[in-house]
Amino acid sequence: MQELWIATGNKGKLEEYKLTLAKVPEFKVFSQSDLPYFTPKPENGTTFLENARIKAKSVKAMKTDHWVLGEDSGLEVDSLGNLPGIHSARYAGANARDSENVAKLLKMMQIRSGPNRAAQFKCVSVVITPQGEEWVFEGLMKGVVNAKASGLMGFGYDPVFMPDGETKTLAELGPGYKIQKSHRALALTQFLAKLKETNVLS
């Protein structure tokens, strides 16, 4: 069994990864929270890719012989010029709660969006192999921002994001939906396909 280290301190994201990877017996999943004395580096990149790479490299420095996956993701709203984007987790401030970020988003959309509520969740994953090779994967989930929050499952902007073709928000659809169709799930599916292509997985 090989070790896969997920470079995230977000409990919601980690739970999604563990749920999806439970069907991959070749991997035992860990996160940066399992590392003693680990201090995350500042996410000061200007793109999802740069921030994902920062996360991956910071964990890889401590787990040089193992698989490491770093990802950065967020919500891009058309009418807000793709904001909050890489600032999604801190849209309402450095230590903002999810509810505060959602409240600011809805307020900004009320001011600026008009009828255009189109948005997408974007995830960029950087995987560093045990040999130090870097793989990059990207997943997108398109939809609209609902006028009000609805649903108790999920985290982040899930209560206000309604995927294309659905009549419920991600927070109503729940984790079973997300681990199959979310932006993060799509990027992870590409990673698993790459592992099969390179004969790491059978």
Q: How far is CA 1 from CA 4, 70, 189, 201, in A?
A: 10, 20, 20, 11
User: Which residues constitute the domain of residue 101?
Assistant: 2-197
Does any domain span residue 165?
yes
Classify residue 33: in a domain, yes or no. Answer: yes
Question: Per-residue DSSP letters for 109-138?
Answer: HHHHTTT--EEEEEEEEEEE-TTS-EEEEE
110 domain residue, yes or no? yes
Task: Identify the active-site residue in 34, 65, 72, 158.
Answer: 72
Query: Would residue 175 count as lying in a domain?
Result: yes
Q: Which residues contact 4 (CB under 8 A, 6 or more apart)?
A: 21, 27, 28, 29, 30, 66, 67, 68, 69
- SS3 of the chain: helix, strand, coil, percent, to 5: 40, 25, 35
pLDDT at 202: 66
Contact between residue 160 and residue 102 where contact means Cβ atoms under 8 Å apart: yes
Q: How many domains does the chain have?
A: 1
Q: What is the pLDDT of residues 148-192, one digit of tens each?
A: 999 999 899 999 999 999 999 999 999 889 989 999 999 999 999
Please say if the pLDDT value at position 75 is more than 90.
Answer: yes
Write out pLDDT tens, residues 106-159: 999 998 877 899 999 999 999 999 999 999 999 999 999 999 999 999 899 999
Is residue 72 part of the annotated active site? The answer reads yes
Overall pTM surpassing 0.85 (yes/no):
yes
In a domain, 94, yes or no: yes
* Mean pLDDT value across the chain: 92
Closest to 124 in 3D by CA, of 31, 29, 47: 47
66 token code pair: 């193992």
Residue 107: the pLDDT is: 94
Query: Diameter of the chain by CA atoms?
Result: 52
Residue of 154, 202, 152 whose CA lies nearest to 182: 154
Say if 202 falls within a structural domain.
no
Report d(CA 89, CA 148) in Å as an integer: 19
- In the predicted model, is pLDDT for residue 66 greater than 90? yes
118: left (phi over 0), alpha (psi -120 to 50) or beta: beta
The CATH number that applies at residue 114 is 3.90.950.10
Does 151 reside within a domain?
yes
46 domain-assigned: yes
State residue 30's pLDDT score: 93
